[in-house]
Structure 1
C-alpha cells in the first residue's frame, strides 16, 4: 500500500487517474494532449501509477492503452476507510462503480498463495461462495462446458455462460450472461478471462472483463474489486471480507 499512497500523493498522477476515469483505455499521446507537460513527464507518472497497480496497460496492435485499475483503491478502502468513516467508504465505492468502459475492464491483484490453490478458489463452488456474495456455481470446467450461477436468496439463476478455455492453473476464459434483472439481461453475454502468473511466493491475478458495449450497465463489472479483495482476504487469512457495498449483491 505504500506505493499506492505515494502514487496518489502527486496531483498530476491523481489528474491522470481522473482522466482515465473519464475515458478508460487511452494512449500516451491522448493523455499527453490533455496536460501541459512533456511526453517524458507523462510517461514517468504513468510508470509510477503502473508500478503501484493503479494503471494497467495492454497493447492493441501498435498502440499501448492505459486502463484504470480500481482494485488497489478498493483495498485502501477496506483497510483504512470503512472502519473509520462508513459514509466515506460508501462514497468511494460509488466512485468505483461509476467506471465506464467502451470495450473492457481490467483488474489486477497480488495474492500470497500458490497457483494451484488460487485456481481451486476460482473453480470450486463452495470456496467461491465465501468471497462472491454467497453465489454458487454448477460448472463443467472444460471447453464447451456450461455453468450456472445461483444464490440461495434468488429463485431463478443469476447468470449462465460457456467455458471457452481451460489451462489449469494458469488461464480460464468463460462467457457470462447476467440474469438477475431485465436491465442486465438486455446487455447480452460478455467474456471473463482469469490469468494467473506466479511471482515468488505469490500470484499475480488479472481478470479481464471484455465484450462490454460502450456504456454497459455497471452491475456487470462493478463488483469485481470487492470480489477480488474478498478472494485475497479468504486465501491469505481464511476469513470472509464483509463490506457495506457487498450487501447490495446478496
Structure 2
C-alpha cells in the first residue's frame, strides 16, 4: 500500500526548495541556538527577509525556537528531514550505499559541528500518556529506535538505565549503555534527566522530554538535549554518528511511525 502525500511533506519540500532557507539550516547545523541578528549577519538580505525565511522553516517544523532572557534562539529540528528520508528516500536506496554515504559524510564533517544544545520536535497522533509510556516503558522501547529496553525509577533522584539490545549484546558491547538520574518528573507531560553514554565516558548531559497536547488527538513531543561537557573527540564521534547526543531524529521518526501505524520503520 502506498502512503499518501501529506501537507507536512509539502511544507518541508517547499521550505527546502529555497537556497537561502537551505543556507540558514546549514548555519544552524554548524552551530545551533543562534539569534536573528546572528543569522542576518550571514546573509545579504534585509532583516525582514531573513524573518520571512525563518517563518517558513518554523511552519515546516525544520526550525524550533525558545526564549533565553530577552533573546529568541533558533535551533535546527532534524526530525522532519528524517521523516522525509524514511518516506521518500530510504526505500529507493540500497542499505549498503546509504551506509557508505553516511560514512563519507561523517569522515568529512568538521569537528566544529558539535552542538551544545540539540532540539528535536515531532507531532504524533497519540495521547500524551501513550507517548509517555513509549518513552519510559521497556515493552515499548524495544519496538523502535535502537530497540533497547530502559529502566526508569520515575521519581526525583531515581535511576535511569538504558540497556543493550540483543544486537548490541551479540557485538560484545556493555550491558548498560546509558545511565542517568531523574531530575524532574511530571507524567505524562515532562521528564528531565541526566544522560551519560557509558562507552564514551565524560560528564553527564541533560535530557528533557516535553509532551504538549494539541487538537484532534495530536501531541507535540520536544526532546531537548544539552550535551555541554560531552566528549567529542574524533575517535568517539566516528564510533557514534550523532556524537554524545544520540540519534534523536531517527528515534523520533521511528516512534511516530510505531504509534501511528503500529509498525517500526525498520520492521
1:36-75 residue CA offsets vs partner (Å, 9 max, x unmatched): 1000000010011011010111111111111111111111
Alpha-carbon offset, residue 150 of structure 1: 1.0
Q: Output aligned runs, 1:107-186, within 5 Å.
A: 107-151=120-164, 152=166, 153=169, 154-179=173-198, 181=199, 184-185=200-201
Q: Which moved more, 1:94-103 or 1:107-116?
A: 94-103
Q: Output aligned runs, 1:36-55, within 5 Å.
A: 36-55=44-63
1: distance between equivalents of 2:152 and 2:140?
Answer: 14
Cα pair 2:162 2:179 within 8 Å, conserved: yes
2: distance between equivalents of 1:128 and 1:4?
Answer: 28
Cα pair 1:100 1:215 within 8 Å, conserved: no
Q: Which moved more, 1:80-89 or 1:191-200?
A: 80-89
Kindly tell me: are residues 91 and 49 of structure 1, through their superposed partners in 2, closer, same or farther at Cα, counting changes over 3 Å? Answer: farther
1: distance between equivalents of 2:43 and 2:149?
Answer: 46
Partner of 2:15: 7
Kindly tell me: are residues 195 and 238 of structure 1, through their superposed partners in 2, closer, same or farther at Cα, counting changes over 3 Å? Answer: same
TM-score under structure 1 normalisation? 0.88
Q: Which runs of 4+ in 1 moved over 4 A?
A: 92-99
RMSD: 2.3
1: distance between equivalents of 2:249 and 2:186?
Answer: 24
DSSP-derived class of the 2:258 partner: helix
Cα pair 1:69 1:107 within 8 Å, conserved: yes
2: distance between equivalents of 1:93 and 1:197?
Answer: 36
Cα pair 2:160 2:181 within 8 Å, conserved: yes
Asked if residue 191 in structure 1 is aligned to residue 199 in structure 2, the reply is no
Cα pair 1:74 1:229 within 8 Å, conserved: yes
1: distance between equivalents of 2:75 and 2:54?
Answer: 11
2: distance between equivalents of 1:161 and 1:57?
Answer: 27
How many residue pairs get aligned? The number is 239
Kindly tell me: are residues 198 and 95 of structure 1, through their superposed partners in 2, closer, same or farther at Cα, counting changes over 3 Å? Answer: farther
1:65-90 residue CA offsets vs partner (Å, 9 max, x unmatched): 11111111111100000111233586
Cα pair 2:28 2:76 within 8 Å, conserved: yes
